[in-house]
Structure 1
């Protein structure tokens, strides 16, 4: 009997040990259950990323652009210093703050960079000291277009030296090229997560085309050729451009309205996929328009054009030729959708004056100098420039900067 009791006691002890061991095992397994499986963890990450993409705010890019940068003989002589160097920075000091704050600032560089050995000159063969590039960098410019009728003024040397100096000073450029490979590349600037393609073309080169071997001319200058432009637009799209800008050197000099040829070409550029057109060459301001366009692919989108930006700096003093405009334009990217936001403009006037017997030049933002800072004829002229510019462009659809 006692033996049976002993056996029962042993069995009970073994059962208790077994139960306690089982409880401890379950506790360990339970601890291992809490962390998510690897697959579940990956699935949560994907959902988080999708949510982040959906909540990503719109991106924006502020673009500023001016018209023709030309340097006539009197301007070059005005910038010459006592040591023989040249300083053009004071010309841009009053407009610097209107340019340097933009994400991207463009200009039409309508001259060539020369050397002391090759000499400097103004119209009709523009050859300019390279110190103008120091001034443009100081003023805040990023991109200089070179497809214009003065790009061959200093022959092949001038075209190539200009681009070499642009590279040296850190300017992006388009419109002329040193090789077929360079011409084949589309200039695309990626800023604030928005890719902007910039194209540039000219109607001609003042007859200087004959000074260049025709096999080289084909790649050295981007002439207005509808088939080439269409191909470049398609190339820009294929390379992922969100926005395409076309800088067109076209129109009739000193005429304040676009002609039928400009209008027809603008319509075609928009239909092919261009978003923004900046015009130059007339040396006077021509109208600008905000458009809603339908492309050849059936896509509806925003568009903007200014047919001519006028002269930003030159020695041309006739009415309308002594003034220009700074355009400030906002591009907005919201997902895959691109739109054009605010568009403003700053009328400018080139002041030519005498200081201690020396002729000086400066570009003035018109509104800032209409309250009596200038005297006599200068005061009257700058007020007239305001009226001429706002009267042509308007103040309802576009806001002039005051």
Structure 2
């Protein structure tokens, strides 16, 4: 979810821009959610796949991150970790040992729904200060903030975000830069406990109610946290000014723990890369990653704390480089079933290796990607979508935005979700649910069932006997051909039976029934003469 981010500034300006009014004793505790994911590292094979997706029009990385968008975009604050630099003109591209990726990586990050990216990492200066600044500018042009790298001394300071009315600060640091010198002391934040604590204290003084630290640390390809990681987590989380640690760098999943009562995610593995177990023992499980979802809740003393931690295992599909949420992919029959099952077992094992209580592995999206309790195989985004089903039976959910969904053939189950949607059932017996918003539903051929649900909806039964339910709002129901059942919901609805012997059911005298001589009419359970 794109949040207003407040740029670093003098203390008084930060307070004026970002700090909301405090709640009263009668108000429920405030809360918000944070989502974060592992390393985005663009190797040559990933770039070649993006070029194929682009079909001669450049590099398109969006299909790779698209399956994760529901988990990312639904969070109140979503944080990515981008390794390397981006090239504004796609010149000077490099994939190992220096990483300089096409500029359209930023498009994919934006489309996935991230609010900000942590950029402090050992590859942050792979194209020098110029590459660092181009990366920042490319992200900013797409409405994405950044932490960990800077063009000025002021920009090095923590960033502030307004999240559900709460001011959240984000700090970001790396262990090193692969021996490359910093062009300026502020270019990249390097791990130093005293500096981190001072920056966190400054953020708290400026009004941050919750402070998130992202950190590039640990040993590559090692699942267990090092003694250095554990000691640093202990020291930093002993401070009242740091509330949550999210780690990266190891390229494999590391555990989630609690230190001094606070959450530390030691490592989230790879989100997108070409690393994979097939390349040898060194790279075992590097195709695995996780998205974490942290719920932060206001406490009785007015402070904010992480009150629940959920995680979603992910797996990078070779050749397509789609990042698949594992449980959803298995339910939707996407990807290799055996490889997905093995990935799930690895990731859940590594995440819980410290025995931390209360961790929840989410089997579906956050919130669940379901249509009437069933896992959807065709999923829209938080924005407007055009979704077309297959010749067979489909389960489709549009999610947010004003969507257009066509089931095509087969007995389809379609949920529009929030927004003003247009749903077409297609050429079989379909079930259509409009959801929130002013929706238009077309049953088309087959014995269809249409639910308008919330909003001012228009339902068309088309041919064959259909069942239409108005739901909440002032709806219009057209039976069209066939012997149809039209049921008004709450609101002032208009029911037109059309051709055939129809049954028109009003919920109250405010409904308008327009029958012909073949139709029957009711008000609730009471049979009444048709007007």
If the length of structure 1 is used for normalisation, what is the TM-score? 0.78
Give the superposition deviation at 1:374.
Answer: 5.4
Secondary structure, counterpart of 2:101 in structure 1: coil
Give a deviation string over 1:320-378, Cα, whole Å, max 9, x none: 1001001001001246132222211100000013xxxxxx2101111123358257xx3
Q: Distance in 1 between matches of 2:214 and 2:332?
A: 36
CA contact (8 A) 2:88 2:138 kept: no
- The answer for the alignment partner of 2:307 in structure 1 is 341
Q: Residues 171-250 of structure 1: matches in 2 within 5 Å? A: 171-183=144-156, 185-209=157-181, 212-213=182-183, 216=184, 218-250=185-217
- The answer for the alignment partner of 1:327 in structure 2 is 292
Higher relative contact order (CA 8 A, sep 6+): 1
Secondary structure, counterpart of 1:308 in structure 2: coil
- The answer for the alignment partner of 1:287 in structure 2 is 255
CA contact (8 A) 1:57 1:334 kept: no
Give a deviation string over 1:237-277, Cα, whole Å, max 9, x none: 11111111111101000000001101111111111231100
Question: Is 1:314 paired with 2:273?
Answer: yes
Question: Is 1:77 paired with 2:48?
Answer: yes
Given the superposition, is the C-alpha separation of residues 82 and 389 from structure 1 closer, same or farther in structure 2, using an over 3 Å criterion? closer
Given the superposition, is the C-alpha separation of residues 167 and 383 from structure 1 closer, same or farther in structure 2, using an over 3 Å criterion? same
Q: Distance in 2 between matches of 1:257 and 1:365?
A: 23
Secondary structure, counterpart of 1:361 in structure 2: coil
- The answer for the alignment partner of 2:360 in structure 1 is 399
Q: Distance in 1 between matches of 2:332 and 2:196?
A: 47
Q: Residues 343-358 of structure 1: matches in 2 within 5 Å? A: 343-353=309-319
Question: Is 1:389 paired with 2:347?
Answer: yes
- The answer for the alignment partner of 2:38 in structure 1 is 67
CA contact (8 A) 1:125 1:150 kept: yes
Q: Residues 2-401 of structure 1: matches in 2 within 5 Å? A: 53-80=24-51, 81-116=54-89, 118-183=91-156, 185-209=157-181, 212-213=182-183, 216=184, 218-272=185-239, 273-291=241-259, 293=260, 302-318=261-277, 319-334=284-299, 336-353=302-319, 360-370=320-330, 373=333, 378-394=336-352, 397-401=358-362
Q: Which runs of 5+ in 2 are unaligned?
A: 1-22, 278-283, 364-531
Q: Distance in 2 between matches of 1:227 and 1:396?
A: 31
Q: Distance in 1 between matches of 2:274 and 2:173?
A: 24
- Relative to its length, the structure with more helix (as a share) is 1
Give the superposition deviation at 1:396.
Answer: 5.5
Q: Which has the larger radius of gyration?
A: 1
- The answer for the alignment partner of 1:24 in structure 2 is none
Give a deviation string over 1:66-100, Cα, whole Å, max 9, x none: 01011101111111133341111110121111111
If the length of structure 2 is used for normalisation, what is the TM-score? 0.60
CA contact (8 A) 2:89 2:103 kept: no
Q: Distance in 1 between matches of 2:196 and 2:217?
A: 14
Secondary structure, counterpart of 2:344 in structure 1: helix
Q: Distance in 2 between matches of 1:388 and 1:265?
A: 26
Q: Distance in 2 between matches of 1:99 and 1:197?
A: 19
Q: Distance in 2 between matches of 1:124 and 1:227?
A: 31
Given the superposition, is the C-alpha separation of residues 114 and 101 from structure 1 closer, same or farther in structure 2, using an over 3 Å criterion? same
Q: Distance in 1 between matches of 2:313 and 2:211?
A: 25
RMSD: 1.7
Secondary structure, counterpart of 2:79 in structure 1: strand
Q: Which runs of 5+ in 1 are unaligned?
A: 1-51, 294-301, 354-359
Q: Distance in 2 between matches of 1:82 and 1:379?
A: 29
